[in-house]
Amino acid sequence: MLYGIECPPEGGDTLIVDAVAAFAALPKARQEELGKIQVVHNRAHLIQKYDRTVLTPEDLEKMEDVIHPVVVRSPIDGRKSFFLTNGSTKSVVGLSQHDSMALIAELIAHATQEQFVYRHKWRANDVLIWNDMCTMHSATAYDDTKYDRLVYRTWMRPFDVVSATSALEESMAHH
């Protein structure tokens, strides 16, 4: 969930991909092929990629690789979805680094086609809620020398899905 406090009049939009629709739009044979693929994620990889923060050996030790399928099934409604990010993805299990990044780029390019993307243009006090398990999101650029952008983020889950999400969260404890 995002809560917009200060929102620039231009840029700073939030884009949300419907990863269920993007996955469903693929031919069945491609869906089955992708259903066998696992990706390696690492929070340190994400931090170093975008933040350029120097992490200590202790930090790196705490941020172990997490492997999960690139296609997940929602424990809530059973629909299949991409579970993608280019930020923390280090590789695809069984592929070279080059081929891994090429596949992730291909899938993200497919999922971010206009027909799968909702663009939210922020106004002060807007609240935006989505299911992280079946979406991808990002902010668009804005001129931070001209405008401030203050958006609070929080994660929530309904109490009745705690047991369904606990195993997934435990497997992603380092994210």
- Averaged over successive runs of 10 residues, the pLDDT of the chain (175 residues) comes to 94 94 97 94 70 73 83 87 83 93 94 96 93 85 94 71 49 49
pLDDT at 35: 95
pLDDT at 20: 95
pLDDT at 162: 45
pLDDT at 175: 42
Q: How far apart are CA 154 and CA 53, in angstroms?
A: 23
Q: Which domains does the chain have, with CATH numbers?
A: 2-171 (3.60.130.10)
Sheet (strand 2-6) strand order: 127-128, 2-6, 150-153
